[in-house]
Structure 1
């Protein structure tokens, strides 16, 4: 009985330590003094001179006019300012064809929860459709509506409302 118990304890310890073993990384870093061939950097972890990885969320933030498109009250129309923002986003997304994005639709606090979720959905889809019309694959774009649940600006004044009526493009990593 004592032998069986000790064998079970040893087997359990071996199983537990085997689960903790480190996995070999897919890409090994270069050895000291070894040179690396330059790449386009998309998804490889390569950095630009500014320390930003090309194709990353930070690169998107720095490269596009804005990640946010604002809308008029009870509207989901893409105006000329929104077009220029979405055009810069489309150009960036075409440079990095493996990057996926989510477009978040938002609304101000006025109206019912259901109405604002529907309006946020229409705003996100309007931005998504515009990007798709500019050559970005629709399969790379997902949309979600937060309605009035995630305000950017707190307050019940027109300035706050205007900031909260938006669609935000978020690069997935």
Structure 2
């Protein structure tokens, strides 16, 4: 009887191990035979670097994005704000020019919405100035609507005397604070 050497700790018979090793060797050889084939057509070579005789690409114009608040302010050149006389909320000739420019911009960008902020100077009570600011914002809104801007795109808010642009207790400061400001949203 032939004598087989067997490891008592080994649970897998040696024939099974030889078969597994042969299978791994055959698989490895089979995969190594799958070499990559060259493509039928090669890609074109990269473009040559630009020479000094070629004209440079035109520079892009930088500035505010079209339809943004920065574009609104830049397009209107300071006409985003209208000013009022003491205790008044009526639209005068100077205001109509500014509001007409605002309406044209808003009609150019029909998806944009705007908030009209009403402000007052420091004189008077808080409640009085909030009401006056609301009347100023509403007057500006109504004028924009009369020029064709959809009322649903416009909202109003009153800050009364809470957000002054000019600090001081003199006529010049008060005149700067009696205003309605148009701010685009979205």
Task: Measure the CA separation in 1 of the matches of 2:173 and 2:62.
Answer: 34
| Residue 154 (structure 1) aligns with | 167
Deviation >2 Å, runs of 4+: 48-51
Task: Measure the CA separation in 1 of the matches of 2:146 and 2:61.
Answer: 33
Query: What are the superposed Cα offsets for residues 87-110 of structure 1, whole Å, 9 maximum, x if unpaired?
Result: 000000000000000000000000
What is the TM-score when the length of structure 1 is the normalising length?
0.71
Task: Measure the CA separation in 2 of the matches of 1:128 and 1:136.
Answer: 9
Task: Measure the CA separation in 2 of the matches of 1:118 and 1:73.
Answer: 14
Count the aligned residue pairs: 126
| Residue 57 (structure 1) aligns with | 69
What is the TM-score when the length of structure 2 is the normalising length?
0.66
State the secondary structure of the residue aligned to 2:163: coil
| Residue 87 (structure 2) aligns with | 74
Task: Measure the CA separation in 2 of the matches of 1:79 and 1:50.
Answer: 36
In structure 2, runs of 5+ residues without a counterpart are: 1-59
Displacement of 1:157 in angstroms is 0.1
| Residue 170 (structure 1) aligns with | 183
Larger C-alpha radius of gyration, 1 or 2? 2
RMSD: 1.0
Structure 1 position 104 matched with structure 2 position 117: yes
Displacement of 1:49 in angstroms is 2.4
Displacement of 1:121 in angstroms is 0.1
Displacement of 1:52 in angstroms is 1.6
State the secondary structure of the residue aligned to 2:105: helix
Displacement of 1:64 in angstroms is 1.3
| Residue 42 (structure 2) aligns with | none
In structure 1, runs of 5+ residues without a counterpart are: 1-47
Displacement of 1:51 in angstroms is 2.7
Task: Measure the CA separation in 1 of the matches of 2:166 and 2:63.
Answer: 31
